A and B are shown apart, each in its own frame.
Chain A
Amino acid sequence: MDGKQGHSYVVALAGNPNTGKSTVFNGLTGLRQHTGNWPGKTVVQARGHFKYKGQDFVLVDLPGTYSLLANSPEEQVARNFICFEHPAATVIVVDATCLERNLNLVLQVTEITNHVIVCLNLMDEARRHRVFIDVPTLEQELGVPVIPTTARSKQGLAELKEAIHLVSSGKLTPQPVRLRYNPMVEEKIAEILPRLETLPPVYNKRWIALRLIDGDSSILEEMEVKI
């Protein structure tokens, strides 16, 4: 199983800025990384450990980003980690009060990796604003586990740990619903895919093809370093 570092599973923590990512990080690891209500607060990539059911996990707090299309250094850091470091699971922290904007990031991550868990955070706030989210349907639509949480009062974190455990150990492999692009894009992907056959099997070739036809040169540079 890849995504292991020694005996620990590596778990990435992604999400939009200011969704309580650091609070989830602290809640899971028991660390006290500084939290604050402003976007862009996490400038240093934090790592923490936790143990669940006798298994060690290393949690990596990625910088908060709205997308992974790599327009900024933070986005590149987050994208490269998810794509090239092969975390055993990627947890995406999502702000339940503005789901639509957050889903844009989720859909981009599920294009890269199957091992995704959505942490639907700030449920208390959503409830207060009378936003009701149909979690089972959301799970179905995305094809990945969705765990509602209120990280600051530690609600749902036990369930989140269980989901991380299941996905990391391979007991559960999410099947994210893939995006369908317009015929022109799909055609181009089909054209490039055979030429990527020589890549190691852990890479998501469809996604790399997509980045290439998008003219994203940073992905080439990164692949040169990694492969």
Chain B
Amino acid sequence: MKMDSPITDSIVEAIYAKAETITNKVVKTPIQQKETWTNRIDNIVTSRALGFPLMLALLCVVFWITITGANAPSEFLARFLFMIEDHLTAFFSFINSPSWLHGLLVLGMYRALAWVVSVMLPPMAIFFPIFTLLEDLGYLPRIAFNLDHMFQRVGAHGKQALTMAMGFGCNAAGVIAARIIDSPRERLVAIVTNNFVPCNGRFPILITMATIVSSLTIRSAYQTVMGAVIVLAGVLIGILATFLVSWGLTNTILQGEPSFFILELPPYRKPQVGKVIVRSFFDRTIFVLTRAVIVAAPAGALTWLLANIKINQLSLITHLSTRLDPFGKIMGLDGVILLAFILGLPANEIVIPIMLMSYLSAGAMLELESLDAIRELLTANGWTWLTAVNFIIFSLLHFPCGTTLLTIHKETGSWKWTALSAVIPTVLGIIICIIITQITHLFLPLF
């Protein structure tokens, strides 16, 4: 009844007329060139033909910079932190501490912490400043614009692209960001599918695995480019899964008309380069370090205990991973990997450290100071490129971390939706890994 009332019209008219009168009085030069400048760029970056390729190319470049840039600091950090570990070990033997105390504190807690920091921190500290620069520049709404009609087609909301972008930082933040979507139905779709975007904790997994896969397959200057392409492929798998699951949801339990919205493309603004880089660098560093201390240290202690408490001469880890092993093998993974994902529920950052510690507990003591050493450990434990590919896929398609699940419950107020958010990606991940593995086994019997 509000929309067409002549009273509403005359009120709005009075406001607009006054705004126009004042503007004409106080503004000396009307805006002209700004509009055309922004429009000219937008005509290219949001065009049908070039919008997508440009977006992918840009992402690829960002990933390449991240991989190339993260390598050296990663190795430096690992060398430095493991040097401290040696000193810690020397100190513990100097004070004659019992070996279980040294094991729990140094081989368990400290080591997990050192891995999280050296593997996770550098990619994050490089990727996020770049991402924030793009955000400051005003590129994110253009991505949303490019993806809008695809979201429309799967019955979801175009603003979901923005919540996905937030998911890169942290899926819990992405779930909260879904508040920008008004329709409860489309908001649920955005919440349930946010987990398909590799977050802060899983992005470095992608980077690490991509580097390992590319070094398994080629050895040349193009290795980092290949790595970037693999990361991009991983992100695209996540986006495809988003569309697939959104489509599935909107055609089954969340049916309804897609709502229309106006997405304003803001003018491009010059990012505050120095400030953004410094700010997001430190913010990320603090974020990663805090998570490392809160989650990785206890997880490291727990893993050490599991690896060293023995029943019938076998460690608990061996017992558990042997149980999981047959199923893991069908998926092209193994029991240790599945166990690492399960134990990694509190935070995805600790999946790789737990996995490495479990492998190491089998006996081999390696100095894991570089990605090469990690690759050697993995191949020694029967990894092939197929394992790495399945690992990447399962890291993208499995249950969200504990924090995200709690946030989903808080935002939806329903345990049913929380459970679905965990079950859907996990089932999807298991199915896809099984399909890939079985097809590969069929056509490449040698693997």
Instruction: State whether A97 and B267 are in contact (beta carbons under 8 Å apart), knowing that A181-B10, A185-B11 are contacts in the complex.
Output: yes
Check A185 against B7 for contact (C-beta < 8 Å): yes
Distance in Å from the Cβ of A60 to the closest Cβ of chain B?
A: 17
Size bracket, chain A contacts: 35 or more
Check B15 against A215 for contact (C-beta < 8 Å): no
Check A43 against B180 for contact (C-beta < 8 Å): yes
Instruction: State whether A104 and B7 are in contact (beta carbons under 8 Å apart), knowing that A37-B269, A43-B180, A152-B272 are contacts in the complex.
Output: no
Contact residues in B for A132 (Cβ distance below 8 Å): 27-29
In the complex, which residues 307-364 of chain B have their Cβ closer than 8 Å to any Cβ of chain A? none
Distance in Å from the Cβ of B407 to the closest Cβ of chain A?
A: 13
Q: Which chain A residue has the least Cβ–Cβ distance from B268?
A: A37
Contact residues in A for B34 (Cβ distance below 8 Å): 97, 129
Q: Which chain A residue has the least Cβ–Cβ distance from B263?
A: A39
Contact residues in A for B31 (Cβ distance below 8 Å): 97-98, 129, 131
Assess whether B179 is interfacial by the CB under 8 Å rule: yes
Check B279 against A17 for contact (C-beta < 8 Å): no
Contact residues in A for B144 (Cβ distance below 8 Å): 38
Check B19 against A130 for contact (C-beta < 8 Å): no
Check B22 against A36 for contact (C-beta < 8 Å): no
Check B2 against A216 for contact (C-beta < 8 Å): yes
Across the interface, B19 reaches (CB within 8 A) one of A97, A107, A185, A188, namely A107
Check B26 against A38 for contact (C-beta < 8 Å): no
Check B279 against A214 for contact (C-beta < 8 Å): no
Check A37 against B26 for contact (C-beta < 8 Å): no
Contact residues in A for B135 (Cβ distance below 8 Å): 36-38
Assess whether A30 is interfacial by the CB under 8 Å rule: no
Contact residues in A for B264 (Cβ distance below 8 Å): 17-18, 39
Check B19 against A182 for contact (C-beta < 8 Å): no
Contact residues in B for A152 (Cβ distance below 8 Å): 272
Contact with A along B13-31 (1 / 0, CB 8 A): 1111011101101111111
Check B27 against A131 for contact (C-beta < 8 Å): yes
A215 to B269, CA, bound (A): 40
A142 to B263, CA, bound (A): 30
Instruction: State whether A107 and B28 are in contact (beta carbons under 8 Å apart), knowing that A43-B179, A184-B10 are contacts in the complex.
Output: no
Assess whether B111 is interfacial by the CB under 8 Å rule: no
Check B159 against A133 for contact (C-beta < 8 Å): no
What is the predominant secondary structure among interface residues of chain B facing chain A?
Answer: helix
Check A179 against B18 for contact (C-beta < 8 Å): yes
A135 to B22, CA, bound (A): 11
Q: Which chain B residue has the least Cβ–Cβ distance from A106?
A: B19
Check A104 against B16 for contact (C-beta < 8 Å): yes
Check A215 against B14 for contact (C-beta < 8 Å): no
Assess whether A73 is interfacial by the CB under 8 Å rule: yes
Assess whether B392 is interfacial by the CB under 8 Å rule: no
In the complex, which residues 188-211 of chain A have their Cβ closer than 8 Å to any Cβ of chain B? 188, 210
Check B22 against A141 for contact (C-beta < 8 Å): yes
Assess whether A40 is interfacial by the CB under 8 Å rule: yes
Contact residues in B for A40 (Cβ distance below 8 Å): 159, 162, 180
Contact residues in B for A137 (Cβ distance below 8 Å): 25-26
Check B266 against A39 for contact (C-beta < 8 Å): yes
Distance in Å from the Cβ of B104 to the closest Cβ of chain A?
A: 37
Assess whether B367 is interfacial by the CB under 8 Å rule: no
Contact residues in A for B8 (Cβ distance below 8 Å): 69, 214-215
Assess whether B444 is interfacial by the CB under 8 Å rule: no
Contact residues in B for A180 (Cβ distance below 8 Å): 14
Instruction: State whether A37 and B2 are in contact (beta carbons under 8 Å apart), knowing that A104-B15, A108-B15, A133-B27 are contacts in the complex.
Output: no
Check B5 against A214 for contact (C-beta < 8 Å): yes
Distance in Å from the Cβ of A15 to the closest Cβ of chain B?
A: 14
In the complex, which residues 29-56 of chain A have their Cβ closer than 8 Å to any Cβ of chain B? 32, 35-40, 43-44
Check A37 against B27 for contact (C-beta < 8 Å): no
Give the one of A36, A141, A214 with max B CB within 10 A: A36
Contact residues in B for A39 (Cβ distance below 8 Å): 141, 263-264, 266
Assess whether B177 is interfacial by the CB under 8 Å rule: yes
Considering the complex of A and B, which 3 residue pairs feature the smallest CB-CB distances, nearest first?
Answer: A103-B19, A132-B28, A37-B138
Please give the residue numbers on chain A whose beta carbons come within 8 Å of chain B beta carbons, in ascending order: 17-18, 32, 35-40, 43-44, 69, 72-73, 97-101, 103-104, 106-108, 125, 129-135, 137-138, 141-142, 152, 179-182, 184-185, 188, 210, 213-216
Further 15 A-B residue pairs, CB within 8 A, beyond A38-B144, A180-B14: A36-B132, A37-B135, A40-B162, A40-B180, A43-B176, A72-B182, A73-B182, A98-B31, A100-B27, A107-B19, A131-B27, A132-B29, A134-B25, A152-B272, A182-B10
Please give the residue numbers on chain B whose beta carbons come within 8 Å of chain A beta carbons, in ascending order: 1-2, 5, 7-8, 10-16, 18-20, 22-23, 25-31, 33-34, 132, 135-138, 140-141, 144, 159, 162, 176-177, 179-180, 182, 263-264, 266-269, 272, 279, 283
A and B contact pairs by CB, cutoff 8 A, 27 listed = A17-B264, A36-B135, A37-B140, A40-B159, A40-B180, A43-B176, A69-B12, A73-B182, A97-B31, A97-B267, A100-B19, A103-B22, A107-B18, A131-B29, A132-B27, A133-B28, A134-B27, A141-B22, A180-B14, A181-B10, A182-B10, A184-B7, A185-B14, A214-B5, A214-B11, A215-B5, A215-B7
